[in-house]
Structure 1
Amino acid sequence: MTLQNLLDLENITKYQLSKASGISKTTVIDICSGKTTIEKCNAKTIQQIARALNRSMEEIMRLDNSEYHPDTGMPINEAHYECGLPKDLKNSINNMKKS
């Protein structure tokens, strides 16, 4: 489970977590997007997140960002990038991949 999954489960927005924890919204967004991993956060940040979500620091430290590339913060699974595209565009993309 990622921090974003936990926020979704608790029906809490990144903005609400930012306000409740005292952590900048940018930091919360970076953690949720995988740009910054939980492991790279300092203890105070983990404590603030844990307190705001009524969780232990250990629970927050166990959150996983493995679905994101550690260097870029982009999702590892890129399948969703091409969802819902018009048929012609899908064909063009497939043709481009083949060439």
Structure 2
Amino acid sequence: MSERIFERKVVKSFTGKKEKQDYIRGHKFKGNEKRVKELTDAGYLEKVDIPKVEAAVPDNNVETADQLKHVGGGYYELPNGERVQGEENAKKALAEAGE
């Protein structure tokens, strides 16, 4: 899994020792969570709560996924051969056909 990148507003100009770049007040700084926290604690970046990421909940509706076939361009083919645009519309149409 890739590391999250955070962007914060510079509130006090500085030269990044690790980044080897000048950051001017009002510009944006991008970095990983550890570096952003370090610079925020030192007073160089605006203080913003860093949100915690919840683990993604997988779609447990495997039966529906097996019945839908993505045919490109945002279209899905239902088991009866009908094509529907949009995954949500396709799932809805599949549910209605199953009733």
**TM-score for both structures, normalised by structure 1:** 0.27
Task: Between the two structures, name the one with larger relative contact order (CA 8 Å, sep ≥ 6).
Answer: 1
**Bigger-Rg structure (1/2):** 2
More strand by share: 2
More helix by share: 1
